[in-house]
Amino acid sequence: MTIHPRTHLATHPVAEMYADEYKAGKLSRREFMTRSTALGVSAAAAYSLIGLAPSTAQAQMATPPMGGSLRIQMEVRALKDPRTFDWSQMANVSRGILEYLVESRADGSFNGVLLESWEANEDASQYILRVRPGITFNNGDPFTAEDVAANFIGWCDSTVEGNSMAARMGALVDPDTGVAREGAIEVIDDMTVQITYPASDITLVAGIADYPAAVQHRDLIGTNPLDHGIGTGAYRVTDYEVGVSARLEKNTDHTYWGEAYLDEIVFIDLGQDPAAWFAGAEAGEFDMTYETVGEFVDLFSAIGWTQSEVVTAATVVIRPNQNNAPYDDVRVRRAIALAVDPQVCLDLGINGQGVTAENHHVAPIHPEYAELPPITVDKEAAAALLAEAGQSDFVFEITSIDDDYRRNTTDAVAAQLRDAGFNVERTVIPGSTFWNDWTTYSFSSTNWNHRELGVIILNLAYRSGVAWNESGFANAEFDALLDQANGIADADARREIMARLQSIMQEEGVTLQPYWRSLFRHYRDGVINADMHPKFEINVHYLGVAA
């Protein structure tokens, strides 16, 4: 299989510093790969810096035979402007048409897709992006630097409702106009784009590797790919019914620049109940799960399906929204946190398949994670704080989707709050209703994907006013510290600021974030390159079936 390695930048002074830290035992291999490849060092060059050959350090993807059909169990959600994608499932279908500049890989590295290479200057305030030559859209138009620039301009447009990419673009967005800063995005020639920040920013590459960063034709920014079907990928959508199924077939009218193996991929929506997924597997209705959860992990393995597991920073938050009383009172929010034991949520919510977290949404696998004192669980103190706030009689309605782990985790929270004397009402609603308003519920649970850096998730979910800020949290000190952290390449130095950011999250009772998930996927014998990705990504170009 062709992996399309980057070859332009062999070393970078900061990457060499990271290599020394790895050799001294200060960094894990995954942390080293994330940091160095984000600066533009190829995965091969990064491994050579630490004395490893890629063939021995990486899990190599197999080369499948050409042809065949694959059926994947996954929710089929309505597609829209990719900048406003808010679930990985959307991108897993559109990825057959719309590709990405960069992809994140299971070993923590970033690999060029539509970009052949990139490089950052020493303080990561300027990036040079080089377009992979020979790529065309399926309408015959060449893919050039103008398309890259147009997508960046679209990603920076914070005036577009629901555009979470604007939060990923950071200081490229002019705070006064809400759009790209003048001079921030410059086309150097047909194959080169220069990105210039007003100050250092280490998050660019990770941001453009995330699933809402699907690349559109320059003339189609802001449109739904289902409405036009134009992209650089090897497939086209032939059928799409929300909540039922989606079918991709290889586009034989398009000369694809890379490699794609399957003739057909069908995504089959069996709803939110994993019992239905398991029944479908036993009945032979599909070949691969999107994910496998809870007790069904063991059940799928018991029927002979291959299990793939990955440790991640994926999680669930059960958050009050501070735009709603009484959650605007920090005493109420802190009372909620004092009443809930993360270990109980881990055990009852996901069958213990993960590790406990600390209510600040930065994981131990994030390079800049700061260790804080253990959190306190004290139900009597929680009840006293609630009484002090004058809310002992308030009825706390907690909403969740009707599925397995999110419902079970939210049930565990509700039970513990009741044990502490809270009046709690549970509301459980189907996904078709829940996802319409997921950012606006007064007190609800949501799952969040793994992100490579702690600062990325804080930018996406907790910065004042950003599209995915479902907690309503707005804190000037937090925002200013986050700006500083975004510009520090050295994770040890960034950790000093992160300690304060994590502490603010806890002090303000922003969210219950009880555990980090191990993610699982199962597939039938003969399915190739279907291992679980830390961010739930499914790239249909890589999949295959044994002949």
Q: Which residue has the tokens 């929204």?
A: 321
Rounded CA separation 13/23 (Å): 16
Report the greatest alpha carbon distance in the chain.
69
Instruction: Please give the pLDDT value at position 54.
Output: 63
Please state the domain extents for the chain. 13-60+98-227, 311-518
Rounded CA separation 375/92 (Å): 37
Rounded CA separation 188/193 (Å): 6
pTM (2 decimals)?
0.88
Instruction: Please give the pLDDT value at position 61.
Output: 81
Please give the structure tokens belonging to residue 189. Answer: 């020639």
Rounded CA separation 468/168 (Å): 11
Q: What torsion do the CA atoms of 215, 219, 222, 223 make, to the nearest 10 degrees?
A: -90
Q: Which residue has the higher pLDDT, 476 or 7?
A: 476
- Sorted by sequence, the CB contacts under 8 Å of residue 237 that are 6+ apart come out as 93, 96, 97, 225, 226, 229, 246, 247, 248
The DSSP code sequence of 412-440 is HHHHHHHHTT-EEEEEEE-HHHHGGGTTT
Q: Which residue has the tokens 């995504």?
A: 267
Rounded CA separation 190/145 (Å): 5
Residues 331-360 pLDDT 10s: 999 999 999 999 999 999 999 999 999 999
Q: Indicate if the alpha-carbon torsion angle 215, 218, 222, 226 is positive or negative.
A: negative
Q: Average pLDDT for residues 149-168, to the nearest whole number?
A: 97
Residue type (1 letter), 333: R
Rounded CA separation 374/83 (Å): 38
Fold of 311-518: Dipeptide-binding Protein; domain 3 (3.10.105)
Question: Binning pLDDT at 50, 70 and 90, where does residue 125 land?
Answer: very high
Q: Are 116 and 8 in contact (CB under 8 A)?
A: yes
Residues 4-40 pLDDT 10s: 333 344 567 777 878 887 788 777 787 788 878 888 8
Q: What is the mean pLDDT of the chain?
A: 93
Q: What torsion do the CA atoms of 358, 363, 365, 368 make, to the nearest 10 degrees?
A: -110
Please give the structure tokens belonging to residue 501. Answer: 């950011």
CATH class of the domain whose range is 13-60+98-227:
alpha beta
User: Hey, which residues does 307 pair with through a beta bridge?
Assistant: 522
Q: What torsion do the CA atoms of 272, 274, 278, 283 make, to the nearest 10 degrees?
A: -20
- Across 182-195, b (16+ Cβ under 10 Å) vs e yields eebbebeeebebbb
